[in-house]
Structure 1
Amino acid sequence: MSTAVSRAFLLAAALLPVTGLRAQFSDNFDDGDFTLGTLWTGDDALYTVVGSQLRSNSPGAANYHLSTPSSLVDDAQWEFFIDLKFSTSGANYADVYLMSSAADLASGVDGYFVRIGGTDDRVELFRSDVGTPVSLLVQSPDGVVNSSTANPFRIKVTRTAAALWSLYFDDGALGTYTLAGSATEGTYTTAGFFGIRIEQSSAGTPVNNHFFDDISAGPIPVDLTPPTLVSATVISDTQIDLAFSEAVEQFTAEEEANYDIIPFNSAASVVRDGTDLALVHLTLAIAMQSGNTYTITVNGVEDLAANACVNETTDVLYFVPDEALPGEVVINEIFADPTPIIGLPEAEFIEVFNATTNKTFDLADWTIGDGSSTGTFPSIPLTPGAFAILTDDTSAPQYAVFGTVVSIGSFPSLNNDGDPLELKDDNGVPIDAVTYSDAWYNDDIKADGGWTLERIDPMTPCSSAANWTASNDPQGGTPGEENSVFAVVPDLTGPALTSVQVISPTELRLLFNELLDATSTGTAAYTLAPGGTVNGVVNGPAPLTTVNVTLDAPLVAGVLYTITVGGVKDCPGNEIGSANTAQFALPEPVAAGDVVINEVLYDPRVGGYDFVELYNRSTKTLSLADLALANEENGQIANITPIGAADLFLPGQYVVITEDPANIAAEYPLGVPARYLQADLPSFNNGEGSVVLMATAGDTLETFRYTDDMHFELLNETEGVSLERVDPARAADDASNWHSASEPIGWATPGYLNSQFSAAPSPSGELTIDPAIFSPDNDGYQDVLTATYRFDEPGFTGTLKVFDLAGREERTLLNNVLLGVEGAVSWDGILEDGSKGRIGPHIFVFEVFDLAGNVLRFRETVVLAHKLN
C-alpha cells in the first residue's frame, strides 16, 4: 500500500546505479515525519511518528514494511532501538533488514535481517534467500523478549570485510550490550536497502504497539579498546571457560603462554570456541584441588582489531560441594523493616553465614521461605566463615558493595512484626529456621524500622529470642560481615516445658522454651500421673518447639494430671532439667463467675501497651480458646476479639493478655512473664471505657466499666498505673472494688496477686470491718478497708457513713441502697471533698430499715494510720 510519492521515489531509485545509494544514514524521528530527512517508503500509511518514535499504525492483521536506501555491506555497523509492547509469538514479531536486495521487503528479497520476538521470544540474526530465512547465524538465549507490556531493546550488529557478523543486544536499553554471538557468513556481498517488516496477527495487544527509534547505519567505529576478561566458569577440575568482552583473534587466544595460573598451574591447551568467538576453553596442566582459589592472568590476547589485553585477572574458586548438616549454615541477620533509612539501602535482606571451618557449600537450588512464599538460590559457593546477602532481583545491585549478594527470585516479603523463616538445602532438608518477632529488637525505637536483627552467636545453632537483638552498627546493620553484636554465648541450659495444651481427650501438645533435638522426643521421654501412657509422638513444625503426644486412654473429666518429661534435649544437646513438669486437665465449659477481670492497664506510658489480667477463681480447668475480650460502643458490645490460644487455664491461675509481652516485662520488672500471652486486644480508651469478658460461644461473663475517677484520688499521674480488683469475689461494677496498684511494686502486678487484694472476711454478725487499722498511702499494705454486712433476711435498705470523733460527717459510702442478704463496700481513706482523712479514729455508722418499719443501727470505730517519717 504505497503512496504516489513512494512509487515515484522507487522509480527514480531504480534508474540509479547501485553505487549511487547511500553508504550510511541515521534517523531519530525528532522531526515528527518519517518521510522527511531519511526517506522511508513502503506501507507508509501503516506507520506514524508518536513522541519522536516511529510507531506501527495497522488496525489489524497485516504484514507491512518500510525501507530506505542503504548500500552498506563490509566493515559496517547497524544500530537501532525497538520496543514491542506486547507478548511476542510466532505470529507477532518484527524483522529489521540490515541488507536487502529490494525495497519491497515482502517481494522475496535476498539479504540479512534481525528478528525480535517470534516463537522462542529471542533476538536472532538470519540470512534471507528469496524472502525465506534459511540460515540462523546468531541468536540470544530464549525468552529474553519476555514481557507482555514492554520489551525495550537496543540492537547492534557488525559485519567485517571478512564477513564476520556479531550480534549484540541491550535488554532494557540500559546502556550495556551483551554479545549474543558471532558467525562468518558471506553469501551476499551487495545491498540496496535497509528496512523494517512487521508480522502482526489479529490479536488486539500488538495494535499500535511496535516502536522504533535511533536507527543508524555506518562504518564500524575504529576499535582501540582491548578485550577484557568478563567471567570464568569452572567446567571440571581441569577445564575453565573464559569469556571475553568481545570476539578474540584465534592465534593469540590459543597461545598457552598468554595464560598464567597460580598457584602451581599452567595452561596445557587453549581452544577458541567455534561459534562464540569471545569464549575460550582453557585446559589446565594439573587438576585443581577442592577448596582452593586460583588466580588466572591473561596477557597478549587480541581482539579482531589487534588490540591486546594486559593483565586481565580473575579468581576462580574450585570446590567439590560438601553436604550441609542442620546448623552449619545459619540465618544470621534479618532486615525486615528498612524504613526509615538509617544508613542501609531501603530494601529487605536476609544474611546467611557458613558456620563451619572446613566445608564449602554450593547453594544451588537451596530455598528460603516464610510459609507464604519460597525463593530458590542460584549456584553460588559459600566458603567456611563466609556470608551471603539474600535479596530480591531489584535490590541486589544496592547490596553488591557490602559483599556477596544472592539474587533470589520470589524472595519472601518479610513482615515487620515477625515471620517464620526456613532455610532448606537442595533436597528439601531443613538447615536452619528462625521465627523472629519485633520484640527481639529489645529496643522500641529500633523496632520502628531502619535497623536489622542480628544473631549474637551464630555458633549456637538452635537459638531463639535470647540469641537475637537489634544491630548496634551506626548504619543500621552489618550485611556481609561479622555482626556488631557478635559474642560467644554457649548454650549450657537445657530446655524447659512451658505449658501443655489439650488438643483432644487423647492428644496433648507440649510447648518448650527453645528448639529441640528431634531425635530425643520419643515416647519413652514422658510419664503421666495419676495414670496413662504416651504411645505416640509427632514433632511439630520447624523451628521445633512443640511436640504432640497421643495417649493410650482418654483423659477423665475433673482429674488434674501431671506430665513429667525426661531425656528431651535442645539442639546443642543439653538435657531438660527441673523445669520438666506441667499440670493439665480436660478443659470444662466456662460459665459466668469462673473467670474474672482482675487487673486492667488502659492508659500505658508513652510507647507502652495495654493489658488485661484474668483470674480463674473457679475449681475448673478451662481453655483460653473459649474466652474473648471486647469493649462497648454506644452501649453495645463491640470489637469481640477471641484470645485464640489453646493454653489451659488452671484454677487459681492468672493470665495477662497483651499485644506486646516484652514491653510489659520491661515496664513492670516484678511481673511474671510466664503468665503473659501475646494476643490482639480491642482498644481501651484513656479516661473511661469498658472491658467485656465473653465466652466464645457468645455469653457475656463480666463487664468492667472504668473511669480515671476510680484511681487513688491523691495520685498526680495515673499513666502507667493499673486498676486492680480488690476482691475477685466481689462484683466488677462495684467502683469501691477497684484501686490503683501500689507504688512500691511498680504500679502494676501483671501475672500475680494484686497489691491491693483484700478478701472480704466471712461475715460474723451484721457489720464487720477489716482491717480495723489501715494506712491508705498506696504502698500496697492495708491501703483499703472493707466493711462487710450480713442479714438473716433480705429487704433492707441501708446508709453507711463515716464521721470524725467530733461527729462531723466525712464520707457517704452507701446512701439508701437496697441491700442484699450480704455484701461489702471498701474505703480508701478519701473524704467527700477529695482530701485524705486525718490520722486517728473514724466512726462508721450503718443504718438500715425494711418495709416493716424495722430499723437497725451499727457503729464501728476504725483507725487511719500513716507511716512515720
Structure 2
Amino acid sequence: MLTCEVLSYKKIPPILGVVFSVYYKLPQIMRHQQLFTLLFFVLLPWAGIAQFTDDFTDGNFTADPVWSGNTSIFTVVGGELRNNDAGAGTSYLSTPSTATNEWVFRVRMTYNPSGSNYSRVYLMSDNADLSAAVLKGYYVEFGRSGDDIDLVKQNDATRTVIIAGSGGVMNASSNNIGVRVTRSASGNWTLKADLTGDTDFSTNIGSVTDNDFTASTHFGVYCVYTSTRKDKIFFDNIAVSQPPQINTTSATSVTQLDVTFNEEVDQTTAETASNYSVNNGVGNATTAILDGTNKALVHLTFSNSFATSNTLTVNNVADLFGNAITTAQTSNFTIDIAPPTIASVQVLSATTVEVTFNENVDQTTAETLTNYSIDNGIGNPATATLDGTNKALAHLTLGSPLIDLTNYTLTIENVKDLANNAITSASQGFQYLAPYTPSQRDIVINEIFADPSPQVGLPEVEFVELFNATNRPIDISGWKLDGVNTSGFPTFVLKSGEFVVLTSPGNEGLFSGNVLSWGGSGTLTNGGEVLTLTNASDQVVDRVNYSDEWYNDNNKSNGGYSLEQMNPTTRCTGTNNWTASSSASGGTPGAQNSVFDTTPDQKAPTINLTSLKNDSTLAIQFSEPMDSVKLKTALHYSFDNGLTVKSVTAIAPAYTVVEVQFSGSLQTGVAYTITTANLTDCIGNALSGTTARFGKGSTPTYHELVITELMADPSPTIGLPEREFVEILNRSGKVIELKGVLLTDGSDTAIVANQTPVFPGEYLILTTSSAVDDLSFFGRVLGISNFPSLANSGELLVLRNAAGQLLHSVHYRDSWYQDDTKEDGGYTLEMIDTGNPCGELDNWKAATATVGGTPGKVNSVKAANPDQNAPQILKAEAFIKDTITVTFNEKMDSTSLASATYALNNGASVAGVEIISPEFKQVKLKVATDLQLKTVYTLIINNALDCSGNTIASKNSTTFAVTEQGDATDIVLNEVLFNPRTGGVDFVEIYNVSDKFINLKDWKLANVDSDGNVANQKAMTTENNVLPPQHYRILTTDKANIQSNYPKAPDSTFLVMPTLPGYNDDEGSVILINNEDKLMQRFDYKDDFHFSLIDDKNGVSLERIRFTALTNTPNSWHSAASSEGFATPGYRNSQTRTDGVGDPVSLDFSAITPNGDGDRDFTTINYKFAQSGITISLTVFDKYGRKIKTLAQNDLAATEGFYTWDGTNDAGQKAGMGYYIIYIETFSLNGEKNRYKKPIVVGARF
C-alpha cells in the first residue's frame, strides 16, 4: 500500500518530500508510469520559486526551464531526459543558472562506465557551450576514472579533481545514482550520493574547500559515448537552489529599515527579529514584519537610532524551499542627516516660480509662505504648493510681478526633508526674462567653416557659429538653421554677447565654450549657399547667402579658413561685411572674430547687375543691402527710349535687389538706360553710379560676336592674374543675348547658362567661375562651367550661338605670338584689327601691354590691318576616287564656295560641294565619275571669295592625283643624318620611286632595341600628307635648324615630326613602317660607312647611291659631298649614280678624284648577268701588278648589281695618283669562267 512520510531532507519543501517518499515506496514498475504525473502537478507551483527544478514529467526540455545545446540528440522518455544519438559522439544540454549553493539530481547509466563512456553534470559554468575549450566552472563526473564519482574543477583546458571518489561504486552493469552537492559561501563543498537512486544521500564521497570560481551562468549535462552506449544515459529529478540574498536596504526613518531579498522568503524566519542586527550599538531589531503584498520585503524596527553609516547583518532567514542563510549576509546603508538644498529655480511667468529641491521635502514646511522670500520688492509668495507627484518640487505664486531683465535672489528657510532635517538659510539667484520674440539679427550667423580641408589649425570638421547681439539671453531651443539640416536645436539659452558653435554629432569635444550638436550630418557647400536661421515659430532671424567670393583671398578660399563677419551688430550686412579669417589657426570658433570691426560703413554701394525678369520688369542687384524705404520709392527711377515706371518692389529681407516694372514697348536689340536718384545703402551711403544699361538681347549671328584676345599660357605672370581666359567683343550695333552661347575646343564645351546681355562695342571676359574675382578688376567677367583648358601650343576655339550656328573660330598656334620670349608665357594673344575677324597669323600677335594683356579693354596691338590679298589654293588631294579635298591658304566665304565654279581636265567634273566648318578653309568636291589612278588632274577654281570678300585670282589652280597604298618598293630610305653638327638635329629623307601618289598619314619611323626588335615607333603625321612620284620628304623635328645648316633644303619637302626615334652617332637602325604597320625598309648603319678620308663626320649624311640598290648594305651608301655642304636634304643626292648598261661588267667612271667634293669621288663597278648563281671576285691592282684592295672574294652575285671603289687601299689610305686595273673574275654553275679587266685612273684636283 502507499505510505507518505516527510523526508528529513529539509532543503526540499515538505510537499516535495512527500512526493519523493511516495515515489520511492511504489513498486518499481509503477514509478515511471504513475507517480511522475503526481510529481509534475505537485512541483508545478514551486517551479518559479526555487532557482529551478525539472523532473521532465512535462515530456519536453524546451520550457520551464529551457534547455539548449545538442537538442536533436536528447529526448524525454518515461519522464527521464535521455541521450539518444545515432552513433558514437559527445553531447550536451545547458540551461541558465546562477545558483552556487545546492544541487540535487539523479543519473542513470545502464552500463558499466569507462574512459570512452561516461557523463558529467555541470553545477557551475560560465559558458552555455559545455563542449567549449574556454570554460570555467565545476562538474560531477560519473565513471570516467576508476568507476567512481568525482567533483572536478575546470579552468579552460585544465581540469582538476577536487573530490575524488573511491571504491569503484559504479563498477556495475547498471547504475542509478542520486546526488546532492552543497557549497557554502566560503567555498566549502560536500559531495554525497544515494547509490540506489533514492534521496537519503548516505554515501559521503568527500568534502573540500575551493573558492576559485564564485559565479555561474549555466547548469547542464554532458555525455561521452560509443555507438553501443549512445542511448543508455538518463538524467532526472533535478533541483537547483540557494538561500535568499539581500537585494536592497533602505532606512525609512532613523529607527526603521526596509530589507528586500531576491526571492520570496519564509514568513516564520523572516519575522524572527533576532535574525537581524545593526552595528554602531543599535543591536537587534525589535520587530520584523513581512510585507503583506511583496513577500520578499521585510519591515524592521529598532529601539536605538541609526548612525550616519550603518551595516545590517542577516542570519537564518529561509526561502520558501527552506534554504536558509547559514552564513551571515551584510548590507550597508546610510541615514539622511543633511538638510535639503535648492537644486534649481525656474521662472514660468512674471508671477509663477518653481523651486526644485535635491530631495523630497516635508509638505507642511514646504507650503509655509514665510519660508520663502524674493528680494527687489517681491517678498513672500502669495501661495506655496508642494507638487502632488514630485515631492521635491514646490510651486510659488507671487503677489507682485517680476520685472523683465531683472536679477533676483530667492531665499528659503526652515523647509524640512522627510528625515526632519531643516534648511537654515539657502539662496539662489535667477533672472526674469519676459516673453520675447527675437527680431531680425538679434542672433546672427557670425562664422562659417564650410571647407575645412586642407587643415590649417582648426579641427577638420565643419561648423557654424552664432552670436547673441542683444542685451538679453535668448532661448534658441527648437531653432533651425536651414541650408545645413532642418532639425531643431536642443534646449539652450544663449546669453547676451556670447557665442555658440553648431556642429555635427560626435564633434562637440573638438571645440571649447558653448557647443551644440544637432540633427544629422549636415554638410555646408564649399562654394556657397543660403543659410537661414529661424526661431521656434519659423520666423527668419538671420540669413546669409555666402559664396567663395566672400573670402577675398584665392588661397584661403581653397580650404582651411573660415568666413568671419566683421561687424555682428550692424543691421546692414552682406558681402562687404564678411571676409576670410585672419587667425593663424584658420578661424575663431566660440570667440570674437579675428576680423571684428565695428567701424561705420562709409563705402558707397554700386549697381552690380541688371537683368530682365520679363518684357516689363527689370531687376537691379546692388553690392550691399540698401535703404528699403528709398529702394521702393518709384520716383527714384526713370527710363529713356519711351519707357515709364509702373511699380517698384524691394526684395526683402536682404534688400540687395529691387524689381522695377515699366510700361512701354521693349525692342529687341535696343540698349536702354535706367537712371536712379536718392538711393543709399541701409547705413546712408549714397549710390555710386546712378545709371545702368539693359536691354532684350538679340541672338548673335556670324561675326557679330568674336574672340579678340586669349590667355592660354598665364605662367609666368607678367602682371595679369595667373588665369586662363577668352575675351569676346560685340561688333554689332545692338544688344546681344549671350544665354545659350557656347565656347568649345572640341574636348570641353562651356555654355552660358544665364541671361547675359552684351552691349554694342562691349568686351566680355569669359573664364572659369573660380577666376572671376581675380579678373573682375580688368573689366566685365563671366564665369562659366566647363570652361575649356586652353592648350599652350594652340588649338581650335569655336564660338556658336544657342542654335548651334557658327559665330567665330580661332585656330591659334605658338607661331602667332611672333615673339619667342612672349611665347614662353605671361602674355595674351590679341587680335590686331577687329574689323578683320577672319585674319589668322597675319592679324594676331602677342600683347604689348606692360602687364601682358588687355582683358576687357581695347587691345594693345590695335591697328588697321585689312585683308586685301586674294585667296590661294594650297593643295588638292584625292584619297578616294570620288572625292577631292581642296585646302585654301585662308578662311573663305562659305556662300561663295557653294556657288564657285570648279573645273577639272581629263574628262572629270564636279557633281557636289561640301564646305568644311568651322574654318571654311577646305571644301570637299564630289566628282561625277571616279577619278583614274596614276592620272594627274588639274583643278581650276573661279568666283570663290575669302572671308573678307577678296576674289581668288592667279593662284586658282593646282594638280593632284588619287592616292594609292604604298608598298615596300614604292618609298625608299634615301638619306640619313644620324650624327648632326653641334646644336643640330637628325633627319631622315625618303623618296617615292614609284608612279603612285602615296599618303604618308600614319606612316612611321622606328629603331631597334637591344635585342634587335623594332622599337620606338614614331608617326610621321596623323594628318593627310601626299608624297607624289619622284618626290622627296625630309623627316625631322626642326625645319629651321636643318635649313640653317643646309640652306638648299626646299620648304615644300619638310614634314616636321614631334619627335624622332633615337639614332645613335656610332651605329643604329633606321626603320620605315607604312600605315598598315608593315616594315617597308631597314637600314642598319655604322659610322664607318662614311668615306674613310673624311676627318670630321659630324653633320655629314649618308646618301643612297642608287634607288634600285639594296637598302641594307654598305655598298649602297656613301658620304654626302662637301660641295653640297655634306648633306642634300629634300633634293638629288650628291653621290647618286645611274644604273650601268651594256657590257656584263662596266664602270660608271674610268677616272676618279676621291676628295669628297661630290664630283667623281668614287666609281661603281656595275654587273648584269644573263643567269643567276654567278660567283664574283673583284681586286684592284696598280700598274706594277701589286694588289691594292680586295673589293669582293667569291661573293654570290645577284643577276644585277654593283660594287664601289673610292680610291682607297686595304689599309683605308688613299691610293696614289696613277693607273690601276680592276680585275673581275666570275664562275657560273656550269663551270664557265670569265675574266674582265677595267682600267681606271686615280687623279687629283689642283
> If the length of structure 2 is used for normalisation, what is the TM-score?
0.51
- Partner of residue 690, structure 1: 1069
- Counterpart for residue 970 of structure 2: 594
Q: State the distance in 2 between where 1:614 and 1:172 align.
A: 68
CA deviation after TM superposition for structure 1 residue 700, in Å:
2.4
The answer to whether 1:753 aligns with 2:1159 is no
* Residue in 2 that maps onto 1:570: 946
Q: Is 2:871 aligned against 1:463?
A: no
Render the CA deviation track for 1:395-418: whole Å, top value 9, x for unaligned. Answer: 333334444433232110123333
Q: Structure 1 residues 157, 477: closer, same or farther in 2, change over 3 A?
A: closer
- Per-residue CA deviation, residues 667-725 of structure 1 (Å, 9 max, x unaligned), is 65533333434556651323132222233444322111223334455666655554332
Change (3 A) 1:323 1:751: farther
State the partner residue of 2:534.
126
Query: Are the counterparts in 2 of residues 121 and 144 from structure 1 also a CA contact under 8 Å?
Result: no
- Judged with a 3 Å threshold, the aligned counterparts in structure 2 of structure 1 residues 607 and 241 are, in CA distance, closer, same or farther, namely farther
Separation in structure 2 between the aligned mates of residue 813 and residue 234 of structure 1, nearest angstrom = 91
Which of the numbers 990, 1015, 1034 marks the counterpart of 1:656?
1034
Q: Secondary structure at the match of 1:674?
A: helix
Aligned to 1:350: 726
Letter matched to residue 1012 of structure 2: G
Whole-Å separation in 2 of the counterparts to 1:743 and 1:338: 47
> Within the alignment, does 1:848 sit opposite 2:1232 as a pair?
no
State the match for 2:231 in structure 1.
none
Alignment partners' CA distance in 2, 1:573 and 1:454: 23
* Cα distance in structure 1, aligned partners of 2:461 and 2:342: 24
DSSP 3-state at the match of 2:1107: coil
How many residues are treated as equivalent by the alignment? Answer: 756
Q: Partner amino acid for 1:536? A: G
Q: In structure 2, how many angstroms separate the alpha carbons of the residues matched to 1:157 and 1:653? A: 76
Q: 1:150 to 1:334 in 2, by over 3 A?
A: closer
* 3-state DSSP of counterpart to 1:313: coil
Alpha-carbon shift at residue 530 of structure 1 (Å): 1.0
Aligned to 2:606, the other structure's residue is in SS state strand
- Conserved? CA contact 1:227–1:302, under 8 Å: no
Opposite residue 126 of structure 1, the aligned amino acid is T
| Aligned equivalents of 2:662, 2:773: Cα separation in 1 | 33
Larger radius of gyration: 2
Counterparts of residues 64-103 of structure 1 (less than 5 Å): 65-70=489-494
CA distance in 1, matches of 2:461, 2:1029: 80
* Higher alpha-carbon deviation: 337-346 or 268-277: 268-277
Distance in 2 (CA, whole Å) between partners of 1:750 and 1:467 is 33
- The amino acid that maps onto 1:768 is L
Q: Does 2:1239 match 1:860?
A: yes
Match of 1:787 among 1155, 1165, 1175: 1165
Distance 1:222 1:615, change over 3 A: closer
Residue 1108 of structure 2 is aligned to residue 725 of structure 1 = no
With over 3 angstroms needed to count, the CA separation of the structure-2 counterparts of 1:547 and 1:371, relative to structure 1, is: same
Pair 1:371 & 2:746 matched: yes
1:309 alignment partner AA? N
Q: Does 1:511 align with 2:887?
A: yes
Would the alpha carbon gap of residues 398 and 492 (structure 1) be closer, same or farther in structure 2, given more than 3 Å must change? same
> C-alpha displacement at 1:489, in angstroms?
4.2
SS in 2 for 1:250: helix
Offset at residue 136 of structure 1 (A)? 5.6
Partner of 2:1203: 825
Rounded Cα–Cα distance in structure 2 between residues aligned with 1:606 and 1:248: 75
Distance 1:777 1:359, change over 3 A: farther
Contact 1:78/1:216 (8 A) holds in 2: no
Cα 1:608–1:270 shift into 2, 3 Å: farther
The residue type equivalent to 1:550 in the other structure is: K
| Higher RCO (CA < 8 A, seq sep 6+) | 1
Cα pair 2:564 2:578 within 8 Å, conserved = no
With over 3 angstroms needed to count, the CA separation of the structure-2 counterparts of 1:715 and 1:493, relative to structure 1, is farther
String of CA shifts for 1:3-39, please: whole Å, max 9, x gaps: xxxxx9994556598744599999999xxxxxxxxxx
Q: Distance in 2 between matches of 1:66 and 1:317?
A: 50
The equivalences for 1:434-583 within 5 A come to 434-441=810-817, 447=823, 449-469=825-845, 479-480=855-856, 488-522=864-898, 525-583=901-959
CA distance in 2, matches of 1:808, 1:445: 65
Residue in structure 2 matched with residue 411 of structure 1 by the alignment: 787
Give the AA of the match of 2:580. L
The CA distance in 1 between the partners of 2:1186 and 2:718, in whole Å, is 66
- Check if 1:277 corresponds to 2:701: no
* 1:83-137 deviation digits (Å, cap 9, x = unpaired): 7799xxxxxxxxxxxxxxxx9999xxxxxxx9979xx9742243433xxx3x567
1:599/1:614 contact within 8 Å kept: yes
- C-alpha change, 1:615 and 1:278, in structure 2 (3 Å) is closer
Question: Against the structure 1 CA distance between its residues 467 and 846, is the aligned structure 2 distance closer, same or farther, given a 3 Å change threshold?
Answer: farther
Q: Quick check: 240-249 or 731-740, which moved more?
A: 240-249
Matches within 5 A, 1:102-121: none
Q: How far is 1:140 from its partner?
A: 6.1
Deviation at 1:226, TM superposition (A): 4.2
1:767 to 1146, 1158, 1165: 1146
- Give the SS at the match of 1:308: coil
Pair 238,492 (structure 1): closer, same or farther in 2 beyond 3 Å: same
Matched to 2:1223, the amino acid is: F
- Map Cα deviations across residues 824-854 of structure 1 (whole Å, 9 max, x no partner): 234556666666666x546352332426473
C-alpha contact (below 8 Å) 1:299/1:309 kept by paired residues: no
8 Å CA contact 1:80–1:154 kept in 2: the answer is no
Flag the 1:457–1:230 CA change in 2: closer, same or farther, 3 A: closer
Counterpart CA distance in 2 for 1:261 and 1:78 is: 49
Q: Is the 8 A contact 2:1018 2:1061 kept in 1?
A: no
Distance 1:441 1:863, change over 3 A: farther
Q: Match of 2:1061, as an amino acid? A: S
Question: CA offsets, 1:440-471, max 9 Å, x none?
Answer: 45666665555544445444322334544555
Match of 2:912, SS? strand
AA partner of residue 1072 (structure 2): L
Question: What is the correspondence of 1:1-12 to structure 2 with a 5 Å cutoff?
Answer: 11-12=344-345
Change (3 A) 1:627 1:286: closer
> How far apart are the structure 2 equivalents of 1:52 and 1:620?
71
**Mapped partners of 1:656, 1:502: distance in 2:** 22
Percent of paired sites with the same residue: 28
Is the contact made by 1:417 and 1:438 (CA closer than 8 Å) also made in structure 2? yes
* 2:566–2:579 Cα contact (<8 Å) kept: no
Structure 1 residue 547: Cα displacement: 1.5
1:598 offset after TM fit, Å? 1.8
Contact 1:256-1:268 within 8 A present in 2 as well: no
Residue identity matched to 1:616: N
Query: Which amino acid is the alignment partner of residue 621 of structure 1?
Result: F
1:420 maps to 796
Q: In the superposition, relative to structure 1, how do residues 660 and 610 fare at CA in structure 2: closer, same or farther (>3 Å)?
A: same
State whether residues 1221 and 1238 of structure 2, in contact with CA within 8 Å, keep that contact through their aligned partners in structure 1: yes
**Range with greater deviation from structure 2 (516-525 or 231-240):** 231-240
SS at match of 1:573: coil
2:13 counterpart residue number: none
**Aligned equivalents of 2:1000, 2:567: Cα separation in 1:** 75
Query: What is the rounded CA distance, in whole Å, between the counterparts of 1:153 and 1:819 in structure 2?
Result: 87
- 2:1049 aligned counterpart, secondary structure: coil
Helix, strand or coil at the partner of 1:332: strand
Q: Which runs of 5+ in 1 are unaligned?
A: 1-7, 30-48, 87-102, 107-113, 177-210
Q: 2:812 is paired with a residue of what secondary structure?
A: strand
Equivalent residue, structure 1, for 2:600:
224
Is 2:1078 aligned against 1:699? yes
CA distance 1:849–1:544, change in 2 (3 Å): same
Partner of 2:580 in structure 1? 174
Q: Secondary structure at the match of 2:836?
A: coil
Letter in 2 for 1:860: P
Q: CA deviation at 1:422?
A: 0.6
The CA deviation at 1:52 is 9.7
